[in-house]
Amino acid sequence: MTLTIATRGSPLALWQAREVQRQLEEVHAGLEVVVNIVKTEGDRVQDRSVEALSSTGVFTKEVDARLLAGEAHVAVHSLKDQLATLPDGVCLGMVLPRGPVEDALVSTCGGGIAELPSGARVATGSARRRAQLLRARPDLKVVPIRGNVETRLRKLDAGEADALVLARAGLERLGLGGRITEVIETSLVLPAVSQGIVGVTCRVADDATLERLRAADDPVTHACATAERAWLRRLGGGCNVPAAAYAVSEHDRLIMRARVLAADGSDAMEADVTGEIASAEAIGCSLADGLIDRGAIELVRGSGA
């Protein structure tokens, strides 16, 4: 009883894979889970922004390709990096319980976003974060940055920026939560679709593996991910557009908020919806349709997405 995981090789990706390994081995007595590392386009190419790379899914498509080639039973992803439409033959079989969803500021100036001096250089590789930061503080200078969490922190410490915005979940999972100078409220910077969620994909036709994954799945987190990913898919956006959505569960109901912005933060629209958790996909689609009727797709396309 052996199950092979395909994953990226960054410290955070390995943390995710080992947590999936732990949970699967805990649920399935006698199951041995092994981890295989895949180097993706996003890992290999560090001298260009994610938007400038040749294709979408730069951190996920080569990992999922191992599934389709039969070289792994499952692939583990930071779900916010995964395409809203999965490759043919691949499905989302399991998610871990959601971690912290907020973005976090790491600042050499101390304090939070409100305390940053005018013209401060804030580094991020995310169009979503850039647009929302500029909407809140148009006087800031938002600069691009690439690399894993540790690399970005080293660049900050070397003086390449005055502050850095990263996912709180990633920092805390790596034991770097002490670097956070502000946990950014979601009202200010709404998180990416599926932020804080670790997702596990497998082949649609691999019934045995799919059954094992479902036994370890977190159904509430899965419903939130389903709603958010349906929203992004309906909107036609990728994982690096100036758009954000966040669903939470309360008493078998989902409450979901979404926001779409111009790339420079000069324009934005948002909306929210509530519905039964069993209708997660329909909730996401309904929220997207309302924003589309108000011109959300034109706003996203106008941002170069």
Interval 7-29: pLDDT, tens: 988 999 999 999 999 999 999 99
Question: How many Cα atoms are found within 13 Å in the side-chain-facing hemisphere of 123?
Answer: 23
Interval 280-293: pLDDT, tens: 999 999 999 999 99
Tokens of 146: 């690439």
Architecture per CATH, domain 1-96+197-217, reads as 3-Layer(aba) Sandwich (3.40)
Indicate whether 53 pLDDT > 50: no
Query: CATH 3.40.190.10 residue ranges in the chain?
Result: 1-96+197-217, 103-183
Bridge partners of 142, per DSSP, are 122
Indicate whether 49 pLDDT > 50: no
Contact indicator for 106, 153 with CB cutoff of 8 Å: yes
Query: CATH 3.30.160.40 residue ranges in the chain?
Result: 218-305
CATH code at 218-305 = 3.30.160.40
Q: Which helix (DSSP H) or strand (DSSP E) does residue 77 occupy?
A: strand 74-78
CATH code at 103-183 = 3.40.190.10
The percent of residues in the chain predicted with pLDDT above 70, rounded, is: 91
**DSSP tag of 171:** H
Q: Which residues have C-beta within 8 Å of that of residue 76, sequence separation ≥ 6?
A: 5, 6, 7, 13, 16, 17, 20, 63, 198, 199, 200
Cα 267 from Cα 209, distance rounded (Å): 45
- Give me the chain's average pLDDT, please: 91
Indicate whether 305 pLDDT > 70: no
Torsion of CA 128, 134, 137, 143, to 10 degrees: 90
Annotated catalytic residue 47: no
Cα 154 from Cα 159, distance rounded (Å): 9
Grade residue 300 by pLDDT with cuts at 50, 70 and 90: confident
Question: How many Cα atoms are found within 13 Å in the side-chain-facing hemisphere of 77?
Answer: 32
Tokens of 293: 């009727």
Question: How many Cα atoms are found within 13 Å in the side-chain-facing hemisphere of 69?
Answer: 11
How far, in Å, are 103, 226, 259, 289 from residue 254 at the CA level? 21, 11, 17, 17
The percent of residues in the chain predicted with pLDDT above 90, rounded, is: 79
Cα 285 from Cα 240, distance rounded (Å): 19
Contact indicator for 74, 214 with CB cutoff of 8 Å: no
Annotated active-site residue in 43, 47, 64, 81 = 81
